[in-house]
Each structure stands twice: as structure tokens, then as C-alpha cells.
Amino acid sequence: MNLSDIKTIESLLHKNGFSFKKSLGQNFLIDSTVCPRMAEMACDQETGVLEIGPGIGVLTAELSRVAKKVVAIELDERLKKILPETLKECNNVQVIFGDAMKLDLEKIIKENFSDCEKVSVCANLPYYITSPIIMMLLESRLPIDNITVMVQLEAAERICAEVGTRESGAVTAAVSYYAEKEILFEVSRKSFMPSPNVDSAVIKLSILKEPPISVDDEKKFFRLVKACFAQRRKTLVNTVSNTLNIEKNKLREALKMLELPETVRGEQLNLEQLGKLSDLI
């Protein structure tokens, strides 16, 4: 079954009375070139792949071809009727119905991938929870090698920006603490059904064994990062003192020690400077 073919998809969905739910970020891929590329770049024959949101299984089938095993987590129970049909030839795939944000992913990985050399997460992510899913995967320090996912182009550019540039945001600094990041390729909005209003991109986050900087208190570091970007137009002193309730003079002193001007904005600090500032306050 060609799961990228519009007519095949329409007849499959019609037969099962399925209609797209925008609230679940359901934009299915209809471009036959995208999934093979994603699969090849995410995994190999020794990899166990965790997929989030298989939809009708277009990416799942490609991952099944390239990887050792695939576990796909899907929230929409209406797909219980469709996925067994579309994936019937994929013997190394297991589908779990549930919310990827709530399931015990560590347990799922342990139970399914103990015989795999490495684990990847690969997905065409539902856009409404892109950052929360990525941050959950990183913060829970799952034993994964890489996260190779499709996200909105704007989110891809933000996540993969260099920390300390105008394009960066809190998510840039947070992701950079855990992973090396790159945009693999862009995908046109026309490659989806229904077509969203924006283009997309596939990004790869290669998980680092150790963070690139060391900080005394990770929680404090991430609170500072969030505060730095809370009010982008304000100076760091103003936004951080408002958000974290820290005396302005204390912040000015810390900036002086880092040889940074007191007018600096949060987005202008690189990862190392953010880490040092967090230790100082």
C-alpha cells in the first residue's frame, strides 16, 4: 500500500470514517521522498526507534524497513482500526496507544530495545506540543542517541540557532545544553494533507554524553534561561530581576564580573556566559 498517495489515503480514511483533528496536530505526509530520507538519517539496522504519532503509519513503515525495531506511540484511538491494516507487513513494529507526554518512555525503551545498540526518536511531531515533547525527551535523560524530528520551519530555526544570536530563544539554550543540533532539510507545506500554513524542516538533535558547560544547579540555570528570554526587548537586568525577584544590583555586579555591559539583553549571552551567570546569582 502506498501510504503517501493521496487517493490511497483518502480511500483508507473514508472507509474508516476518519476525519483529521486539528487539535491533535494531524497533518499527514503525502510526499514519498520525505520518510525514506528521515529514516535513513535517524537510524540503522541496529537501532530501536521510538516514533511519536504514527498517524496512518507512513513514516513507521519506512522506519520498519531501516531500523531493527520500532515502537510507535499514538494518542488517537480512532487509528486502532487503520494501523493494523497499513502496517500488517511490518513485523518489527509495535503500536502503543497513549499520550507520549504521559507514558513511561524509559520503561518502554528498556522493555523493547535492550537488544538494540542504540535508540532514536523519530517523528513528524504534532505541532501543538513540539517544544514540550523535545524538552521532555531531553530533560528525562532517556538513553537515546538522537532525536530526528519534523517541526515547523520557524521552530527548527529557533532550536538550531546559535545561542547568543537574535534568532535564539530559551529553547535554543536549553536544547544546546543537551544536544548538538542541525537542520537536515526543509519540507514544503504542500507535502502534507491537510496542508498547514507554514513550511517545515527535519532537525536532528544528537544527544551529548556530557553537557558542554558545567553549572552548580541545573534547575537554577534553566530558570535563569527562561527569565532571560521572558521579555526579549528589556535588558537582562530588568527582565531577570522582575521574573526571578533578584536585586538589580546583584545582577549588575555579576555582569561586571563576566565583563558584560549592564545594558546587555538576555539573548546576547552565549551558553557559557549563561552558565557562569547562573552560578554567580
Using CB under 6 A as the criterion, which residues of the chain lie in contact with ligand SAM when the complex forms? Answer: 24-29, 52-55, 58-59, 73-76, 99-101, 124, 126
Contact indicator for 126, 53 with CB cutoff of 8 Å: yes
Q: How far is the CB of 124 from ligand SAM (least distance, A)?
A: 3
C-alpha distances out from residue 179 to 146, 224, 247, Å: 8, 19, 33
Rg (the chain; Cα; Å): 21
Given the DSSP bridges, would you call strands 93-97 and 47-52 parallel, antiparallel or unpaired?
A: unpaired
Q: How far is the CB of 76 from ligand SAM (least distance, A)?
A: 4
Q: How far is the CB of 159 from ligand SAM (least distance, A)?
A: 17
Closest to ligand SAM by CB, 28 or 221: 28
Q: How far is the CB of 128 from ligand SAM (least distance, A)?
A: 7
Q: How far is the CB of 163 from ligand SAM (least distance, A)?
A: 28
Closest to ligand SAM by CB, 121 or 173: 121
Q: How far is the CB of 175 from ligand SAM (least distance, A)?
A: 19
Closest residue by Cα to residue 37 from 63, 16, 12: 63
C-alpha distances out from residue 149 to 59, 125, 240, 269, Å: 11, 6, 32, 27
Closest to ligand SAM by CB, 66 or 75: 75
Contact indicator for 42, 120 with CB cutoff of 8 Å: yes
DSSP state of 209: S
Distance from C-alpha of 201 to C-alpha of 16, rounded to nearest angstrom = 30
Beta-carbon count within 10 A of 123 CB: 28
Closest to ligand SAM by CB, 124 or 278: 124
Closest residue by Cα to residue 182 from 166, 205, 207: 205
Closest to ligand SAM by CB, 52 or 134: 52
Closest to ligand SAM by CB, 75 or 93: 75
Contact indicator for 197, 190 with CB cutoff of 8 Å: no
Contact indicator for 276, 258 with CB cutoff of 8 Å: yes
Closest to ligand SAM by CB, 18 or 183: 18
Q: How far is the CB of 15 from ligand SAM (least distance, A)?
A: 18
Residue nearest to ligand SAM (CB): 53
